[in-house]
Amino acid sequence: MNLVDYLRISLIDRCNFQCQYCMPEGAEIDYILQQNLLTLDELLTLLREVFIPVGFTRFRLTGGEPLLRPGVVELVKQINAFPETKDVAMTTNGFLLAGMAEDLYQAGLRRINISLDSLDPDIFDQIIGNRGRSRWQQVWAGIQAAYQVGFNPLKLNVVVIPGVNDHEVLDLAKLTIERQWHVRFIEFMPIGNNDLFADRGWISSEELRQQIREQWGLETSQVTGNGPADVFQIPGAKGTLGFISQMSECFCDRCNRMRFSADGWLRPCLLNETGQIDLKTPLRQGATFEELREQVSNLLGIKPDINFKQRDSGTTGNYARTMSQIGG
């Protein structure tokens, strides 16, 4: 059975963007009030007393937008201080990163994923649901700051949306030739956005690879990631190209992660709501750490049966939470 040792931790379900694929326009998002979020002390307690003892050693901080959470730099430092911690990473939209990259690096963060769905400021603003001043330049500044500070690998996540940014695939892939950046193309997912999904569909990773192959050639990279990406390289390029193909190519058999939401729910599979458990309520009601560890261990035991495998064309039914609330 695959070792599940990677916990994605959502620090906040709010975001300063409203990306189409994450928080669809018009979606009724009931933001969690601050008092309903786990406090950072509670989160650190659960990490120390529950998650690490059952085998989690790799952690990724997500959101919403994790840089909106007060105390995030200190949290990185504290998680890094656990002797069992092997890796701390973050996924961010980069908007607040320029002013925080140095502090995060000093706190021990080394790996960062930044969402960059377009190199065209107008398309970028369309995707993120911007209503005013363009935000592309500030995100680009955050990427540059992270690069200069020394984040390695620095990964750029691109969700490919047909008819919106799919014509930029080659331009985005080209970023890896001269820089040690890692561009990851992610197939669009039907999480809380069924209407948009039905309208647009998705483009398979193999189609994207073929475009790149015809332009420059493409070879399997010697660099492998911690997760589900299949990694390739343009011959001679300094960086790599990753393809996350959750719609066209099931990778449940190598899934090594669970997701922990900002309000304390542990979810074993991104695409399946079965089996998720609330840890915040019993923690606040005085449950013992042994009881909580037992709950998490039981969930780890049934995870292989929960993993979602019917991905031929979409999903059945509606998801109760959008991607921003899950901490995708």
pLDDT tens, N- to C-terminus, the chain (328 residues): 578 999 999 999 877 655 555 544 444 334 444 558 999 999 999 999 999 999 999 999 998 899 999 999 999 999 999 999 999 999 999 999 999 999 999 999 999 999 999 999 999 988 887 666 788 999 999 999 999 999 988 999 998 888 889 999 999 999 999 999 999 998 776 555 455 545 556 788 899 999 999 999 999 988 766 566 789 999 999 999 999 876 656 556 677 889 999 999 999 876 666 789 999 999 999 999 999 999 999 999 888 776 544 433 334 444 444 444 444 4
CATH code for the domain of 306: 3.20.20.70
- Residue 318 in domain: no
Q: Which residue has the tokens 């998801």?
A: 319
pLDDT at 150: 95
> Under a CB-based contact definition with an 8 Å cutoff, are residues 241 and 212 in contact?
yes
- Residue 325 in domain: no
Dig out the tokens for 289 from the structure: 């750490």
Within 10 angstroms of residue 210's Cβ, the number of other Cβ atoms is 12
272-278's contacts with Cβ under 8 Å and 24+ in sequence apart are: 272/306, 272/307, 272/308, 273/319, 273/320, 273/321, 274/306, 275/299, 275/302, 275/303, 275/306
- The binding site for GTP comprises 8, 60, 91, 155, 257-259
- Residue 324 in domain: no
- Residue 32 in domain: yes
- The binding site comprises 8, 15, 19, 21-22, 60, 64, 91, 115, 155, 189, 252, 255, 257-259, 269
**SS3 for 94-113, per residue?**
CCCCCCCHHHHHHCCCCEEE
Give the type of residue at 287. Answer: A
Residue numbers of the domain that contains 43: 6-310
Calculated CA dihedral for residues 181, 187, 189, 195, nearest 10 degrees = 120
Strand partners, 240: 182
Q: Where are the alpha helices (DSSP H) in the chain?
A: 40-46, 72-81, 101-106, 121-127, 136-149, 169-178, 194-200, 205-216, 280-284, 289-306, 323-326
Buried b (16+ CB within 10 A) or exposed e, 122-158: ebbbbbbebeeeebbebbbbbbebbbebebebbbbbb
Question: Could you give the C-alpha distances from 173 to 39, 142, 240, in angstroms and in order?
Answer: 39, 19, 9
Q: How far apart are CA 35 and CA 17, in angstroms?
A: 22
Report the number of distinct structural domains present in the chain: 1
pLDDT at 69: 93
- Residue 88 in domain: yes
Those residues with Cβ within 8 angstroms of residue 137's Cβ, 6 or more apart along the chain or in another chain: 121
pLDDT at 18: 56
- Residue 320 in domain: no
- Residue 322 in domain: no
- Residue 52 in domain: yes
- The binding site for [4Fe-4S] cluster comprises 15, 19, 22, 252, 255, 269
- The binding site for S-adenosyl-L-methionine comprises 21, 64, 115, 189
> Which is it for the CA torsion 107, 156, 258, 40, positive or negative?
positive
